[in-house]
Amino acid sequence: MFDKPTLTSERRNFYERLDPHHLTPLWEVLGQLVIQQPASPCRPAHWRYDAIRDYLLEAGRLITAKEAERRVLILENPALRGNSSITHTMYCGLQVILPGEVAPSHRHTQSALRFVVEGDGAYTAVDGERVTMRRGDFIITPSWTWHDHGNTGVDPVIWMDGLDIPLIRMLDASFAERLDDDSGSGAQPVTRPEGDALARFGNNMLPVDWQPSSMTSPVFHYPYERSRETLDRLARSGPLHAAHGVKMQFINPASGGSAIPTMATFIQYLPKGFAGSVERVTDGTIYNVVEGRGRTTIGDRTFDWAPRDIFVAPSWMPVSLQADDDAVLFSYSDRPIQKALGLWRSSAN
């Protein structure tokens, strides 16, 4: 759109003299900076759970959760290797915790989401309340809250971590602390019974004198049982959206906004045989398959997916979803940031 002017020897000489002063002429780079539409360098990518699971268990034999702080394999976008990024703003990892282990308590300004993939004997604790992690549960660790994880069961437990790490890095806004741990267990003290937050905030009511103290949802656990029932009912009552079937976003019930201020989280249902229309959105999106098999075409790539697989659709690439069975997909993206700034666009509107 903005063409580069001709490079004359006189101009080249000028640029060379500018360089030591850390100066660059805009007209030489404008075309790269301001483009007609997004052209993300991120690539569409797909990780088969079957291919990763053994590596996670091998990591479990090589390093303890305590020594690692968090035993995680990071899913890096193939075009962004070395950046711990799955899109320009989002991080994705798979974390494993073995029976008897504790991942010690700490807090940081990065927000995290957990999406439970395998096993059901682990808990995560957030600011004094523990929640048992079950497959398909979506759990939030809000910015600057103490959190630790433990496995009191007999099997390894594995979940997907989604964090806004690249965004916070870009903003130079990272702070972190480790809990001063007198007990030596690594775990923070439990101060509220399990289910407390869900009872207070997760039933379309709020305690009458409650005032929000953060922008993150006070409900930090969205059990799969409830999400699945919602999808089930809506699938029966319709209508289905041509591109995304039945798609719900997880919200902060106190504000109506997204459950996490920097990350949107969604769960969607695609009926068996669904062949979705093509859609583009400006938020690069990470998907985790909960149920069913199907395929997704992203730009010129097509991925066949199965339960627990993860795939990423970069910003503004055409995406279409197909389901061979009744399928459920969880996904997350930076949509709330884009919406807050009036930047979000979809080809549908």
Residue 228 sits in the site that holds ligand 1HN (CB under 6 A): no
The neighbour count for residue 73, using CB atoms within 10 Å, is 15
Q: Is 64 helix (H, G, I), strand (E, B) or coil?
A: coil
**Closest CB to ligand 1HN among 73 and 240?**
73
The neighbour count for residue 207, using CB atoms within 10 Å, is 9
What whole-number distance in Å separates Cα of residue 228 and Cα of residue 232?
6
**Closest CB to ligand 1HN among 16 and 180?**
180
**Closest CB to ligand 1HN among 148 and 283?**
148
Question: In Å, how far are 95, 164, 217, 279, 340 from 112, measured between CA atoms?
Answer: 12, 7, 12, 27, 19
Residue type, 205: M
Q: Which of 130, 135, 147, 335 binds ligand 1HN (CB under 6 A)?
A: 147
Question: Given the rule CB under 6 A, which of 159-167, 231-239, 273-281, 284-292 is the region that contacts ligand 1HN?
Answer: 159-167
- Residue 99 CB, nearest distance to ligand 1HN (Å)? 17
Phi-psi region for residue 167, left (φ > 0), alpha (ψ -120 to 50) or beta? Answer: alpha
Q: In what order do the strands lie in the sheet with 301-305?
A: 301-305, 294-298, 319-323
- Residue 256 CB, nearest distance to ligand 1HN (Å)? 27
Cis peptide before 223 (omega within 30 of 0): no
Q: Which of 42, 45, 56, 72 binds ligand 1HN (CB under 6 A)?
A: 72
Question: In Å, how far are 60, 168, 227, 250 from 340, measured between CA atoms?
Answer: 40, 16, 26, 17
Question: Given the rule CB under 6 A, which of 130-138, 157-165, 237-245, 278-286 is the region that contacts ligand 1HN?
Answer: 157-165
The neighbour count for residue 135, using CB atoms within 10 Å, is 18
The 95-124 site mask, x for binding ligand 1HN (CB under 6 A), equals x-------x----x-x-x------------
CB–CB of 137/223 below 8 Å? yes
- Residue 84 CB, nearest distance to ligand 1HN (Å)? 7
**Closest CB to ligand 1HN among 88 and 244?**
88
Residue 70 sits in the site that holds ligand 1HN (CB under 6 A): yes
Closest by Cα among 208, 217, 298 to 254 = 217
Residue 329 sits in the site that holds ligand 1HN (CB under 6 A): no
Q: Is 245 helix (H, G, I), strand (E, B) or coil?
A: strand
**Closest CB to ligand 1HN among 135 and 147?**
147
**Closest CB to ligand 1HN among 64 and 346?**
64
- Residue 91 CB, nearest distance to ligand 1HN (Å)? 6
Residue 291, φ and ψ in degrees, nearest 5: -140, 150
Residue 93 sits in the site that holds ligand 1HN (CB under 6 A): yes
- Residue 137 CB, nearest distance to ligand 1HN (Å)? 14
**Closest CB to ligand 1HN among 68 and 278?**
68
The total number of residues written for the chain in this structure? 349
Q: Which of 163, 219, 298, 328 binds ligand 1HN (CB under 6 A)?
A: 163
Q: Is 195 helix (H, G, I), strand (E, B) or coil?
A: coil
Closest by Cα among 108, 145, 113, 110 to 129 = 145
Residues that bind ligand 1HN (CB under 6 A): 70, 72, 93, 95, 103, 108, 110, 112, 147, 149, 161, 163, 165
